[in-house]
A = this chain, B = another copy of it.
């Protein structure tokens, strides 16, 4: 059976607690967009991409779906220092750590967490139990870096 067209169950879509998560056409498309994206997306980004396939999905639907997935632990929401918007990615694809370019405003994922080890011992000393952490590096990417030197 063509995996592209067989009936998709919830389990095919995302990981996490999804009992009672009803798989509608809109949600299927929203999830598809997120699975296909290599980078974190804002709700507006998602809507834009969704509507290029099937028009007329409401922005509030996108938000509600993203929120639902976040609270079920299947989606990660990230905020940056100088951007009021939230960025979303599926937990299976989540990068957790980013470099954000102050020149072109792109987010570059960091594969390996450079701090995983040192964190726990730091927290232990303070009686803190760490369940998660976020690390964002701000600076200039290879391209913007050379552009700056020309100024």
Name A's B-contacting residues (CB within 8 A): 77-82, 99, 101-102, 108, 110, 112, 114-115, 118-119, 121-123, 126-142, 145
Are B137 and A133 neighbours in the complex by a CB distance under 8 Å?
yes
How far is it, in angstroms, between the C-alpha of A109 and the C-alpha of B99 when the chains are bound? 22
CB-CB < 8 A to A123: which residues of B? 99, 137, 139
CA distance A137 to B133 in the complex (A): 4
Judging by beta carbons under 8 Å apart, are B127 and A141 in contact? yes
Count the copies: 2
B128 touches A140 (CB 8 A): yes
**Which residues of the partner chain B approach A81 to less than 8 Å between Cβ atoms?**
77-79, 134
- Chain A to chain B contacts (Cβ below 8 Å), 25 pairs: A99-B126, A101-B128, A102-B131, A108-B126, A114-B115, A114-B118, A114-B119, A115-B115, A115-B118, A118-B118, A119-B137, A123-B137, A127-B141, A128-B137, A128-B139, A128-B145, A129-B140, A129-B145, A130-B138, A130-B139, A132-B139, A133-B135, A133-B138, A134-B135, A134-B138
Residues of chain B within 8 A (CB-CB) of A79 are: 79-81
Residues of B within 8 A of A99 (CB): 123, 126, 128, 130
Taking the nearest CB of chain B, how far is it from the CB of A3, in angstroms? 34
Known pairs A77-B81, A81-B134, A128-B142 / 16 extra A-B pairs, C-beta < 8 Å: A79-B79, A99-B123, A99-B126, A99-B130, A110-B122, A114-B119, A114-B121, A115-B135, A123-B139, A127-B141, A127-B142, A128-B139, A128-B141, A130-B138, A130-B139, A133-B138
